Amino acid sequence: MRGVKLDRIDRRILRDLQADGRMTNVQLAERAGISAPPCLRRVRALERAEVIRGYHADVSPTALGYNVTVFAQVGLSSQAEQDLRAFEALVNDWPEVRECHMLAGETDFLLKIVAADWDAYQRFLTTQLTTAPNVNHVKSSLAIRTAKWQPGVPVTVD
């Protein structure tokens, strides 16, 4: 959130939690150089301020049968705000779509989509995505491999 003042200790807490969200409060406090109670208060304050938005497990897609990742560039017929929001609402109902980013430029949205295989993606594409209201065109790019995946943002500790 804008306007939140983060000191060196807050940044250290954020960096360490982002790297390992299962770290105990005692471990986190030790690394930040403070005792456990004030560390927990700081973490709770960062959560209330929505600097920390949640905690998640990193689940292997292939372990659950999702062997294909596709990035789809979606162009809409209308970019009126109500049409953009309607598309975003529709995308939120599709579990295969793991990320949805509205873009500036030629493409309106970039979607990250997972599927069991290429045929499953094609079924999703032809029965849901391209038939959705206001969708004008879709350009699909199959991910071959991921060379880097690092969630979050860089956190510098002065």
Contact by Cβ (8 Å): 64, 116:
no
Q: 2 pLDDT band (50/70/90 cuts)?
A: low
How much is the pLDDT for 128?
Answer: 97
Q: Please indicate, yes or no, whether residues 80 and 112 belong to a single structural domain of this protein.
A: yes
Name residue 115's beta-bridge partners: 68
Whether 57 is covered by a domain: the verdict is: no
Tell me: the pLDDT tens digits for 113-150? 999 999 999 999 999 999 999 999 999 999 999 999 99
One domain for residues 24 and 78 = no
Which CATH number does the domain housing residue 74 bear? 3.30.70.920
Based on the fold, state whether residues 75 and 41 are members of the same structural domain: no
Q: Is the pLDDT of residue 47 over 90?
A: yes
Same domain, 136 and 77: yes
Query: Where residue 4 falls among pLDDT bands split at 50, 70, 90?
Result: confident
Residue 45 is predicted with a pLDDT of 96
Q: What is the mean pLDDT of the chain?
A: 96
Question: How many domains would you assign to the chain?
Answer: 2
Residues 30 and 90 in one domain: no
Residue 28 lies in domain = 8-48
Domain membership flag for residue 44: yes
CATH of the domain at 31: 1.10.10.10
Whether 99 is covered by a domain: the verdict is yes
Are 44 and 69 within one domain? no
Bridge partners of residue 114, in order along the sequence: 69
Return d(Cα 55, Cα 52) in angstroms, integer.
8
